[in-house]
Amino acid sequence: MCLTVPGAIRAIREVEPGQRIATIDYGSTVRSANLAFTPEARVGDFVLVQAGFAIRVLRPDEADEALAYHRELAAAARAGATADGG
């Protein structure tokens, strides 16, 4: 099982006919992803990326919920590290 965090599409470029590459913003990191499996993806959409490919476009409510869970996990990890003295 893999954990993936939603990222926002900030730009899309067509590198050759029918092959689109998106710039994905994860908040603290920006990466590129191939949109071959998500032809419906547009700038401003949130997507899940696995192995360099956007595999799903999320509805805004799904992205908000997933990002909230991610923030909770990050906060719990920080709290655990602080409690352990790390």
Q: Which two tokens stand for residue 59?
A: 């509805």
pTM, two decimals, is: 0.82
Q: What is the mean pLDDT of the chain?
A: 90
Burial of 54 (0-12, 13-18, 19+ CB in 10 A): buried
Q: How far is CA 25 from CA 7, 30, 63, 65, 86, in A?
A: 5, 5, 13, 17, 29
Helix (H, G, I), strand (E, B) or coil at 33: strand
Give tens-digit pLDDT for 49-75: 999 999 999 999 999 998 898 889 889
List, in sequence order, every residue forming a beta bridge with 22; answer none if it has no partner: 12, 33
What domains are there in the chain, each with its CATH number?
7-83 (2.30.30.140)
Q: How confident is the model at residue 27 (pLDDT cuts 50, 70, 90)?
A: confident
